[in-house]
Amino acid sequence: APLSVIVVPERYDTTGVPTPCAYIRLLQPLHHPQAAAGLRVTVARPEEALDLRADVLLTQRHAIPDVETVEALARHCDASRMALVYDLDDDLLHLPPDHADASRLRERTAVVRRLLARADAVWVSTPGLARAVEDVRRDARVVPNGLDECLWFPDGHAPRRLRHGPVRVLFMGTATHDSDFALVEPALARLHARFGARVQFDMIGVTARGDVPEWVNRMAPEGIAGQSYPGFVDWITQFPAWDIGIAPLADTPFNRAKSAIKTLDYAALGAAVLASDMPAYRGSLAEAGGGGLVANTETAWFGALDHLVRQARLRRELAAHARATLLRNGTLAAQAPARRATLYAAVGARAGQETVPRLQPA
C-alpha cells in the first residue's frame, strides 16, 4: 500500500502562500517523481490536519501557530498512530537580536521548542543545526537541502552563456542579509573602481536598504515571481548564465547552522561560486572545485573576485564543475533514495522499530 502523508507547510502570514522553505524542504520533495514515488500526499493547514489520518504528518519551522495547536496535533497523532515529523532548516531556537524578523520570530521560539520535543522524528538541514538543537533533541537526522531539477532545469540544459558584454556577478538572498552585504561592499567598490562597466553587479533581495551604491543593479521579481518560490525560479532561470555568484556570510552562531543551498542555486544559474570560508560552505561545491572559499576580509574578497573577473576560461571550468557536482548530489533526483529511506525510518520510529523501506523502483 502507498505510504500516506499529510504535510502542513509553513505559509506567509499575509498571503497564505507557502514560503520558499516550505517548497524546498517539504512540498517539492513530496511531489517529486522519484523521491515521492509510492506516496499519497495531502497538503493541509494545521486546523485541517486535526481531522485527517495518515501514516505520517510532516510539518516544519513556523507552520504551527501556537503551543496549543502543537499539543492538539501531537495528541491527534498519538490517537491515530501517525508519526509526527518536524523539519527545521534554520536555528530558530537561537535568533540573533539583529535578525530582521527577530522580535516577531522570538515569540514563536516556544512553539519550535515544543515541536522539537514532541515529534517522533526531527529532520534538520545541516550537522551544525543538529548540534544547535541538541539540548532539546539529540537524535535529529540530517536531510540536506536539494534543488528540484524538474523546476530548475525543465529542459535539462545548462543556461546559455553570453559571449560578449560585462562579467556578471550575482548576489541574491532574502532582504535579511545586510551584515553579509556589508562584508563584501568595500571589496565590490574596489572592483567597480578597477573595472567600471566591464563588471556588472546584480543584486536580488539581500538588503532592505534604500541607499545601495549606484553601481549595484537591483533586480526585483514582479507579480507571481515575487510571491512564490516556483514563480521566482521560473523567473530567474530565464536569464543568461551569470559568471560569478557570491555567498558572503558573517560569522555568527545563527549563520554557523546555515546550509549551503545558495551554492546550489548559483551552480544551477551557470555561475562559478565564491563563498565565505564558514562552516555552512565548507565541503560545499564552492570548496569542491566549483569556485572557492574566501576569508571574510576586504582583501580576500577583492583578490578572489579580481582573479575570477580576469580569468574567463577558469570561470567557465569552475561553473561546469559546480553544475556537475550539483547534478551528482545536490538534486532531489540524486537524493531520492536517501530521502525515501528517511521518511520510512520516521514511520518505523513511531512503530517502535526502524523499518527498512520496501523501495519500489522509482
- Contact of 29 with 36, CB cutoff 8 Å: yes
Q: Taking residues 214-243, what's their average pLDDT?
A: 90
pLDDT value of residue 177? 65
pLDDT band at 355 (very low <50, low <70, confident <90, very high): very low
Cβ burial of 261 (10 Å; 0-12, 13-18, 19+) is buried
Domains for the chain: give ranges and CATH numbers: 3-146+332-351 (3.40.50.2000), 151-330 (3.40.50.2000)
Q: Nearest Cα to 306, choosing from 354, 355, 252, 246?
A: 246
Dihedral of the alpha carbons of 325, 41, 231, 324, in degrees to the nearest 10: 10
- Contact of 319 with 272, CB cutoff 8 Å: yes
- Secondary structure element (H or E) that encloses residue 276, with its range: strand 272-276
Tens-digit pLDDT profile for residues 153-200: 988 888 888 888 999 999 998 666 678 888 999 999 999 999 999 999
Tens-digit pLDDT profile for residues 13-32: 899 999 999 999 999 999 99
Q: Nearest Cα to 172, choosing from 145, 147, 207, 197?
A: 207
d(CA 199, CA 181): 17
Phi and psi torsions of 24, nearest 5°: -70, -45
Tens-digit pLDDT profile for residues 123-132: 999 999 999 9
204, 258, 343 from 346: Cα distances, Å: 37, 23, 5
pLDDT value of residue 322? 97
d(CA 14, CA 248): 30
Tens-digit pLDDT profile for residues 251-265: 988 888 999 999 999
Q: Taking residues 300-312, what's their average pLDDT?
A: 97
- Contact of 114 with 67, CB cutoff 8 Å: yes
Partners of 6 in beta bridges: 42, 57
Q: Nearest Cα to 244, choosing from 220, 273, 213, 210?
A: 273
pLDDT band at 95 (very low <50, low <70, confident <90, very high): confident
Residue with cell 519551522: 61
Q: What is the pTM of this model?
A: 0.92
Q: HSE on the CB side for 107, CA within 13 Å?
A: 6
